[in-house]
Chains A and B, each alone.
Chain A
Amino acid sequence: MPALRFMLNGEWRSEERASPTMSVLDYLRTVARLTGTKEGCAEGDCGACTIAVACPDKDQHAYQAVNSCLMMVGQLDGLSVMTVEGLARGDGGLHPVQQALVDTDATQCGFCTPGFVMSMFAFHQAGERITETAVHEALAGNLCRCTGYRPIIEACRRLAGLPPFVQPLAKEDAERLAVSPDEPVGFTAPRSLGALASALAARPQAWLLGGGTDLGLLVSKERQSPTDVISTARVPELKNIAVTADALELGGAVTYSAALPHLDDLFPAFGALVRRIGSRQIRNLGTIAGNLATASPIGDTLPCLIALEARVVLRRTTGARHMSVEDFITGYRKTALAPGEFIETICIPRLAGRQRFFAYKLSKRFDQDISAVIAAFRIAISGGKVASLRAVYGGVAPTPARAKALEMVLTGHPWNSEALAAIDAALARDLSPIGDHRASASYRLDAAANLVRRLHADSSGDEPSVRLEAL
């Protein structure tokens, strides 16, 4: 019988009984009977189900926090998994993260606590410098309704300077994990581009799974039991990140987290925006190609990719084709992907000449919220005039919307306050927002226009706007 093999809290586990498409959270609680990991929402938003996973082919210290509710058991194959039960020392003493939370009175009802423990464990294990920003970034995927967070933040500060506590994987364990085991029935994780293309060609109806932060909901919340899942996560070519003279090239299985340092480097506004997508748990699993393939009007990367004139390489057994991201999105949650086809690479051209890139996101909560409005601008100013502009909005139409009327009224004109007088009328032509629980149509339209005013302040050179985050 083919089995999944992974390490759970330092012990080898070979799993034959559990369905590989069961959620990891359900597996932990009902099969492994590890009930420290909690279900708070089953939609990857509360963090009570947070666990940490390490991949042996990466830095072996680097446990990453993930939402166990959004993962399928098949995704654990070859990983080292840590849950709250695995942290306390053999002698019964607490892990420094646990001790810090006790010392700061950071637990009240305690239901969210194991999730916080695991997020903080991964944060601490990675040896990140402990700043306010880093702490909030590490905690953004965990909700606490009791404490008001102050003592939890304080507990994070107390981790500064403490060495990582959990030993990296032993070499032999890492090697054993890396060995390709038999694939369980119903969950395929091809190990090469060709194998992926063949699998998809043979079974075009299978679920094509990236990080699973969207598809995982169908299992976790909708309680669907897919019988055929093909995962992109183990295809080495799809993990590639290339920085060339012309572009940043991201493989189809590159996670937000993996892409972030490069985005920060080349398109800092894109990086800042990606930090507001989901939470660290989500970004550690979710892929940029997945965000793109979902083709949601509120997918945060889409306006950015379109504004940056990104292109995609789509592959299937018969070969590859290229197209712009703008053409790739064909409708509400619709793409140009043909059956058996997948995103091999996303190619984001570097900024040329005087081009600059700005991206803004509006939501009720700063972190981990779905955008009411998202705006991405690639603008070049020359001689006080708008030499070129690509303006793309999300959340204001059934698909990410290129604001062509806006581009037209601004391009070639002086970039001054008179230019701003025309933007409201132009955007009213470009955008067709609806009103829903995130915001009314009129707010979306007002805010979309005001984001051009913010762009003006940020790009016209005289006085960049003060941002709330900076206060």
Chain B
Amino acid sequence: MNTAPLARTRRGAHAAVSHDSAMGHVTGRAIYLDDMAVPPNTLHAALVLSGHAHARIRRIDLTRARRAPGVVAAVTAADIPGKNDIAPILTGEPALAEEVVEYVGHPVAAIAAETMDQARAAAALVEIDYEVLPAVLTVDEALEKGHLVAPEQKMVRGDVDAALKRAPRRMSGELRCGGQDHFYLEGQIALALPGEDRSMQVYSSTQHPTEVQHGVAHLLGLPFSAVTVDVRRMGGAFGGKESQATIIAGIAALLAWHAHRPVKLRLARDHDMEVTGKRHGFLFRYDVGYDENGRILALDMVLAANAGNIADLSPPVVTRALCHADNCYFIPDIRLRGLACKTNTVSNTAFRGFGGPQGMFAIEAIVDILARRLKLPLETVRRRNYYGIDRDNVTPYGMTVEDNIIHRVVDELESSVDLPRWRRDIDDFNRTSAVVKKGLATVPVKFGISFNLPTLNQAGALVHVYTDGSVLLNHGGTEMGQGLFIKVAQVVAEAFHIDVSQVRVSATSTGKVPNTSATAASSGSDLNGMAALHAAEQIKARMAEVAAARYEVPAAEIIFKDGRVFAGNDSMSFGELAHACWRQRVSLSAAGFYRTPKIHWDAKTCTGRPFFYFTYGAAAAEVAIDTLTGELRVLRAELLQDCGRSLNPAIDLGQIEGAFVQGMGWLTMEELWWDDKGRLRTHGPSTYKIPGSRDVPPIFNARILADSPNREATIFRSKAVGEPPLMLALSVWLAIRDAIASIADHRIVPELDAPATPERILAAVNQLRRAAS
């Protein structure tokens, strides 16, 4: 079933088909949640947020708000009929603050009114009496005080203390990378419609309809079956609508429950950025032992994440950071300690890469520092540390790297760009340019695919064939722009050997496919593609039986090809066969299911095989900095990404380019800035800057690695692509370090954290100048 199909003109698997909604996008006809026509009695909601980072709620007075024009319902935690808990993993994470508020922006109450403006105006009338408590605002302080949201995770191999002592060279230090706001263009939104007989229909812009279903059911004290959650598409998500959407949908449903009317809650951008979590900023403390050749012998590292006020998804984010702190390198003796630190800031959450980018940031910084100390080319040091094919091929968590192609990927990238010559050009430029300095760096990436928690690696699909041969596909995955719907439709088209235009994808609904996992961890097409294939294959087998009986041949001789079904020279159209099946009373509907094989994980020891496979990539980037001002420009980026046998090269290319630019934003201009009261001051696009078109390198080439089918039996031997290319942007950050180091002729190691804003770049330049003089 998993043999690769042949190339053909029919648009099935591996074809570069456009996004299924492209026409809807460009004409404005694609319907997002806020565009939906709503029942005329729909109310609009607003949140009341904490203005304190940490405070006890003494009293909440809703009287004035309730009397305000248009107000129909006003709720606090006390109005929750069920359990005030929407924790995705642990427990005790309230939708509305109870007793204490733990960050500025913590939702305390919510209002539903006839209009949005009335709701927002009434929200301002809610009076809350607080007893202000001391707040912990930084990861450093949380670390010092031992404030954690979850127990420490430890990944250990060998005797790191002894190995550090033995190592010919040793260095230690501290590094930091910032967080990142998702800045999906469509803000968080949900619409809740109370149904008959204590039920609730919810439309939510969510990556995880099942979690919204559970959250709403918990809050309202309903069985899961009474809550149905639908999502057709999101205007971007990037992890920000994995658990965070549940807060919004839960509060909308609570208001709808009390008002007995539909309620829409759409956050204004400022509230969206203040209320909902972001990528975790990390503090790293490392102690590394190595030899004169740059071989890493031992690494002892603390990875401290700013989890914010609650656990949310922080524990698995930290796990993934630990699982990627090796990147492509074999480190014989290693001890990684992962800490999810509790601070009085917004609770950080999933964001494309899910801790992986941060883990990789640390090890790439360390390798860069030790290469610079040894005055060896970075690429040489890396090669001396890459995982081997037959030896030195076991990760710190005990998984053997069986599919290692990093050598090939790096070789192909380096030769395609003529790295030595590129390096010479950079050096030549820097010799004659006093103020503007250029830098160049590459980066290799290895990223593990599967949710770390094996349970989550399952998916369902529901396929209907109608009697005219048209196909309706539903699966548990959600469309956030990444092209999942078209990819899975291509899989089904491939199975039936019909054109993808015959396959329609319907909105994701918990009423159709139950108990789903989040569309996350890059796994959308891997999981849902397989589930859909399973469903389609069942129907196809039944259809083949009917055709076999009709043509009096064995079912094995029935061939589905290009929209027709053949038995030798006889044939009929796919639709004719579907109609024949109906006449014969043969079911044309099937549910498919998939669970990823081979994986296992022991969370206690941080060991196992968490990943079905790895995906690989490499990038090279050239930057220029102005050493008077710290201004930066990325001039060129060359990317090479392993997609296995790409299910859709057009979609995958879009993921690669988009992820790279997003990663570039994280590492350069995107800066989350809190003041000393714990207020986020970068809470809209006027203050929080994501890359614009001019920031994209003028020379920007992204390529998909050719002839590289997945070694594992994934859907048509493709590989996941959503997250891995984000980390290719580390090349930009490393290139900035290179540009700075050029000031002192690469004799001194620059001190640069992320994001590399003009200010940080100028500080690093000044540090180098001082050290050099």
B269 touches A149 (CB 8 A): no
A-B contact pairs, 22 of them (CB 8 A): A29-B34, A35-B35, A38-B32, A44-B686, A107-B25, A109-B481, A110-B233, A111-B236, A112-B185, A117-B28, A140-B692, A145-B658, A146-B236, A148-B654, A150-B700, A151-B657, A363-B689, A364-B671, A437-B687, A447-B630, A468-B632, A471-B436
Q: Which residues from chain A contact B632 at a C-beta distance below 8 Å?
A: 468
User: In the assembly, what is the distance between CA of A100 and CA of B631, in Å?
Assistant: 33
| 672-692 of chain B: CB within 8 A of chain A | 673, 675, 681-682, 684-687, 689-692
What's the minimum C-beta distance from B446 to chain A, rounded to whole angstroms? 22
Residue of A84, A149, A369, A436 most packed against chain B (CB within 10 A): A149
Interface string of B689-705 (1 = CB under 8 A from A): 11111111010101000
B684 adjacent to A45 (CB under 8 Å): yes
Known contacts A105-B19, A110-B21, A147-B658; 18 further A-B pairs (Cβ under 8 A)? A43-B269, A94-B23, A101-B22, A101-B26, A108-B482, A110-B481, A111-B185, A132-B698, A143-B685, A150-B700, A151-B657, A364-B757, A366-B692, A370-B686, A437-B673, A443-B759, A443-B763, A457-B435
> Given A42-B268, A111-B185, A364-B689, do A471 and B28 touch, yes or no (CB 8 Å)?
no
Task: Name the contact of B631 in the complex, choosing from A44, A111, A132, A362 (C-beta under 8 A).
Answer: A362
From residue 8 to 57 of chain A, which have CB atoms closer than 8 A to chain B? Answer: 29, 34-46, 48
Contacts of A450 in B (CB 8 A): 628-629, 762
**Known interface pairs A102-B22, A108-B482, A145-B238. Does A221 touch B696 (Cβ–Cβ under 8 Å)?**
no
Of A35, A109, A145, which is within 8 A of B662 by CB?
A145
Question: With A111-B236, A143-B690 in contact, is A471–B624 under 8 Å at CB?
Answer: yes
- A151 in contact with B654 given A38-B186, A94-B27, A367-B694 (CB within 8 Å): yes
Taking the complex as formed, is B758 at the interface, i.e. its CB lies under 8 A from any CB of chain A?
A: yes
Chain B residue at minimum C-beta to C-beta distance from A362: B629
Contact B650 A105 (CB under 8 A): yes
> Which residues from chain A contact B481 at a C-beta distance below 8 Å?
107-111, 146
With A83-B28, A148-B661: A107-B624 Cβ-Cβ less than 8 Å: no
Chain A contacts for B695, CB-based, 8 A: 365-366
Contact between B660 and A148, CB atoms less than 8 A apart? yes
Our pick among A37, A148, A362 for the contact of B696 (Cβ within 8 Å) is A148
A149, B696: Cβ atoms under 8 Å?
yes
Instruction: Give the residues in chain B near A451, CB-CB below 8 Å.
Output: 628-629
List chain A residues, Cβ under 8 A from B691.
Answer: 148-149, 365
Residues of B within 8 A of A140 (CB): 692-694
Given contacts A43-B686, A454-B628, A107 and B26 within 8 Å (CB-CB) = yes
Contacting residues, chain B, for A43 (C-beta < 8 A): 269, 684-686
Knowing A38-B32, A143-B185, A365-B669, the reply to whether A88 touches B692 (Cβ < 8 A) is no
Binding site for A on B (CB under 8 A): 18-19, 21-32, 34-35, 117, 120-121, 182-187, 233-238, 268-270, 433, 435-436, 480-483, 624-626, 628-633, 635, 650-651, 653-654, 657-662, 669, 671, 673, 675, 681-682, 684-687, 689-696, 698, 700, 702, 757-759, 762-763, 766
Residue A126, interface by CB 8 Å: no
Q: Most chain-A CB neighbours within 10 Å: which of B632, B657, B698?
A: B657
Chain A residues whose CB sits within 8 angstroms of the CB of B21 once the complex forms: 107, 110
| Min CB gap B33→A, angstroms | 11
Complex Cα–Cα for A84 and B120 (A):
29
Assess the B685–A45 pair: CB atoms within 8 A.
yes
> Taking CB as reference atom, which chain A residue is nearest B664?
A148
> Which 10 A-B pairs rank lowest in CB-CB distance, beginning with the nearest?
A36-B28, A109-B481, A111-B235, A110-B25, A148-B661, A45-B685, A108-B481, A84-B28, A35-B35, A437-B673
Residues of chain B within 8 A of A153, CB atoms compared: 693, 696
Flag A256-287 by CB within 8 Å of B: 1 or 0 each.
00000000000000000000000000000000
The residues of B that contact A223 with a CB separation of less than 8 Å are 117, 120-121
Greatest chain B CB density within 10 A among A88, A135, A365 is at: A365
